[in-house]
Structure 1
Amino acid sequence: MQRKILIKGTLILTFTGIATRLIGFFYRIFLSRSFGETAVGLYQLIFPVYALAISFTSAGIQTAVSRSVAREHTLHRDKKCTCLLYTGIGLSFLLSMITMYLLQHYNSAIAIHFLHEPRCMFSITAMSYAIPFASIHSCICGYYLGLKQTRIPAFSQLIEQTSRVVFVCLLFTVFTRNGSHANVALAVAGLAAGEFFSMSYSLYILRSKQGITLAHSQATPSMFLSSLKELTALSVPLTANRILLNILQSIEAVSIPVQLRAFGMDTNNALRMYGVLTGMALPLILFPTAVSNSIASMTLPAIAELQASRNHTAIKIFVSRLCLGSLLLGAMCSVVFLFGGSLAGIWLFHSSLAGKFITTLAWICPFLYTNSILTSIINGLGKPFISFLYNSLHLIIRILSIYIYIPQKGIYGYLIGLLFSQVLLFFLSLQFLYRYFQKGETL
């Protein structure tokens, strides 16, 4: 029964993940052709700030809600599950409002001193409105993932992506027909629109279809206080890990255009190359993660339940099969990208540079896809510090490659560092899991 639920949930998440990525693909093609490669670079430049804001407000809380709800649901404590959900929403929403204010108040300082690009100032303000909607949406998704009910998180993801694309395309059409200049900030505003509609759908399902409301939860104040303590204890280390990792990722992202200028490029060409890499080539390489990320989303609550039942052997078998399957997926994708990458870059994006990047990045696929699952497994085993340590090390290697090799070899120096860091993360994670099961730790 456990296996059927896992497979069904993974298939639902995979199907919607593929659908949203297909929509996202055409959307990126639309952006590159409508706004230009430099504008895509500016658009991609704000995502480190967005990821950092999401990490602070909801990412750790969502994982904590998912893990706690999975355990309480196994013990048939439905009232506690509802209490955990609303406590998570309240905590996440409060943090999101603080974050939105800070982003709007310090948008100029962030754009100039952190991103080194004053043109991102308005985009930061537009992006900030997405944070409160995303906080509520993510907590509800975490709740349903903990229950292994993947249809609602999956469909809300599809709504988020679809509404974002429709919103931006409509605004772009209105602007161009009126003879006005369409700025890439329209695409940033689409983030807020997408999160608003996905949040609205999630709340509607929560209240009308599932009948889950705060008034009917029959939870006592002491139960809410207990839930707050539990979620705080779980989410604080997860949030701290995500924030520190995203700070490293942000340093990595904003440093690439700067070091490309040190290599000898002007600002526009540096942004163009950054936009092609992060807005065209990498999304194509990451497309199959619709499968691996779906598996990873189901892995954490599944392992939490197996831990609750203290089934050590089942976890070992589960982990080995997941790793083998993701490696096979990565190997097949490597072959496809290696031989078809150049054609894909020209056909999809009208960019030969994107094709070169895709071919170079093809070797990373087996490690990249498996690492997301390995990280989820380690977190599910209750070892978030280990995953944080390994991810920090692999990001530091990537950052060092930016400062050491980009000024000497250009962007390809960074790609070499990216491959090496993913390989290192893969083997470190496998070594930890091997030692963990060899010791036969109490789960």
Structure 2
Amino acid sequence: MDMRKKRSLWWGTLTLTGAAVASRGLGLVYRMLLARFLGAEGLGFFQMIFPFYVALVTLAVAGTPVAVSQLIAEEHTNPRRLMRLALIIVTVVSVPLIGLVIMLAKPLAVMLYHDPRFIPLIITIAPALIAVGFSAVLRGYFVGIQQLTYPALSQVSEQLSRVVILYTILNFIGRHAFHNAPLVAVALIPIGEGVSLVILALAYVRSYAPLAGVMSHTSKVRDILRLSVPVTFSRLLGSLVGVIEAFFIPMRLEAAGMSPYNAIRYFGQLTGMALPLIFFPTALTLSLSTNLVPVVAHCHSAEDEQGIREAVMEGLEATAVFTVPVTILLLALGIKLDDLFFHAHIHADVFYPLVLGGFFLYFDITLSGALRGLGRTDIPMRNDLIASALEILMIYLLSINPRMAPTGIPTAIGLGFVLSMVFNAVSFTRLSRIRIPWGKILLRPLASSIPVLLTLALWHIWGMGRHLPQAESLMGSIGLTILAYLLSLRLTGPTHHRLL
């Protein structure tokens, strides 16, 4: 892998990661505002409708962003013509889908949720599909040409717009002014997507003149569909798993003896308060995975096996450097952080399995990007299908016993993350014949984390006698932990210092 591509990989990852961290930070603020605005039950309703929205988005986008970024990176196509084809595909899919969702809102609400209160929520999210489809294609274009400032800006602006609106409602209008608070929260989804689309569209117009002429390049259509269809099915699968969990988990909890109110409340806490903290570190791995697709695709097109090896190994090393200490922090402080942000009071038996499973999820995301860069977008789809089916089965088995159900469900979700990562790691090794040196990847971050544990213990002992406020104690723990980890990591060798 030449130095230009290596710089573009890390600079692109840095740009998207910075935007993702800012967006996730705003997302945590947004979740806190949502919790205040909706309450536990209202947040449960919002979390139940959101997987359905993600499933619709997956259908509307049709996997075209990955195809666009990969085909542009391979430098065998005209970017302007490719963009026109991709936008036509998204339009043809999303516009009829919007009409279908609006017409079938009532039967969908009854069939999926057994509750007519979901009808206006389903109708409200439908218009967002065309905006998110166009935005996704434009993001794929900018990723493909390795100009990531605009996707980063749009990502942050989308989340910021929702935070500003919700903050204004809570502090200047009041939550009690709205009869249907979940409907207001759902309405913020298309608003945010609209803001993102405006930014990306303006950036694209400035980059290229409007396209003209009639396209008849069926080979390019086939190329787009060849790469996008497996991604679509893979993401649709994840969305459908979310939809299934949205009604299956409360149903299993009710069967275990929990009241309907408490079942929805539990689901809201699990998916709206615990999992967002677990998903926060994916700010790096999702950015890295996005950038690995065009970089690995370029090396694969040039038959540069060494370039593929370097890109993927450095990607996994960066994942380890970041996620090992984050996982330790979540195990040590995650429950207190969750209480501080959401006042969730989540039990350790619920939180810890998600943290441990999340550690594998972070590597799974990076490996998925590597596989898609090799042109095998079907492999992550297959592996997700198997892991998701096993996860649903484990949710059922671990919730048979009423006393096990509240802890068995997050355990099943965590094991699902583990299985998906293992399947993708085996698939990458078989496809590329590149052996992943997990010992080398994990040894230094784990060794550098020993001072982190000592620092946390000493800080805890020091703070016990001083009765520090919870927020100050947590911020001090995080700050000292980061400092101890960075100092230790620098002493372990040049590789990780370079990655940082």
**What TM-score, normalized by structure 2, do the two folds share?**
0.81
Residue type at the aligned position of 1:188: V
2:329 is matched with: 336
Match of 1:213 among 197, 200, 210: 210
- How many Å separate the matches in 1 of 2:434 and 2:122? 48
Deviation at 1:235, TM superposition (A): 2.1
User: Cα gap change, 1:173/1:117 in structure 2, threshold over 3 Å: closer, same or farther?
Assistant: farther
Check if 1:24 corresponds to 2:27: yes
CA contact (8 A) 1:13 1:294 kept: yes
Distance 1:232 1:430, change over 3 A: closer
Query: Which residue of 2 is the match for residue 369 of structure 1?
Result: 362
Within 5 Å, which residues of 2 pair with 1:29-428?
29-72=32-75, 75=76, 77=77, 80-171=78-169, 176=174, 179-181=177-179, 183-207=181-205, 209-215=206-212, 221-223=215-217, 225-353=218-346, 357-408=350-401, 409-428=404-423
Deviation at residue 71 of structure 1 after TM alignment: 1.3
| Aligned partner letter, 1:3 | K
1:261 offset after TM fit, Å? 0.9
Indicate whether 1:437 and 2:410 are aligned: no
Q: Could you tell me how far apart the structure 1 residues matched to 2:13 and 2:59 are? A: 27
Deviations 1:405-430 (A, max 9, x none): 12321121112222222222222222
| Percent sequence identity over aligned pairs | 28
Change over 3 Å in CA distance of 1:198–1:289 after alignment to 2: same
For the structure 1 residues 190 and 271, does the alpha-carbon distance in structure 2 shift closer, same or farther, using more than 3 Å as the test? same
Q: Is the 8 A contact 1:280 1:354 kept in 2?
A: no
Over 3 Å counting, the alpha-carbon distance change for 1:405 and 1:178 in structure 2 is closer
Larger Rg: 2
Give the whole-Å Cα distance in 1 for the aligned partners of 2:159 and 2:177: 27
Instruction: Tell me the CA shift for residue 127 of structure 1.
Output: 0.8
| Separation of aligned partners in 1, 2:313 and 2:176 | 58
TM-aligned CA deviation for residue 230 of structure 1: 2.5
2: CA distance between counterparts of 1:355 and 1:33?
23
* Whole-Å separation in 2 of the counterparts to 1:132 and 1:367: 33
Q: Say whether the 8 Å CA contact 2:30–2:162 is kept in structure 1.
A: no
Q: 85-94 vs 230-239, which deviates more? A: 230-239
Deviates more, 1:254-263 or 1:160-169: 160-169
- C-alpha distance in structure 2 between counterparts of 1:257 and 1:329, whole Å: 34
Q: Distance in 2 between matches of 1:174 and 1:87?
A: 45
2:291 and 2:405 mapped to 1: Cα distance? 39
Structure 1 contact 257–271 (Cα < 8 Å) conserved: yes
In structure 2, how many angstroms separate the alpha carbons of the residues matched to 1:29 and 1:333?
Answer: 21
CA distance in 1, matches of 2:423, 2:359: 15
Distance change >3 Å, CA 180–CA 44, structure 1 → 2: closer
| TM-superposition CA deviations, 1:269-321 (whole Å, max 9, x none) | 11111001111110011111101111011011111111111101221222222
2: CA distance between counterparts of 1:348 and 1:423? 27
1:332 and 1:132, CA in 2 relative to 1: closer, same or farther beyond 3 A? same
Q: Any stretches of 5+ residues in structure 1 without a counterpart? A: none
Query: Which amino acid letter does the alignment assign opposite residue 429 of structure 1?
Result: N
Structure 1 residues 154 and 131: CA distance shift in structure 2, 3 A: same
Structure 1 pair 175–294 and aligned structure 2 pair: CA distance change class (3 A): same
Out of 43-52 and 244-253, give the one that drifted further: 244-253
Distance 2:103 2:214 in 1: 38
How far did 1:355 drift?
6.3
For residues 22 and 321 of structure 1, the distance between their equivalents in structure 2, rounded to whole angstroms, comes to 26
Q: 2: distance between equivalents of 1:121 and 1:260?
A: 24
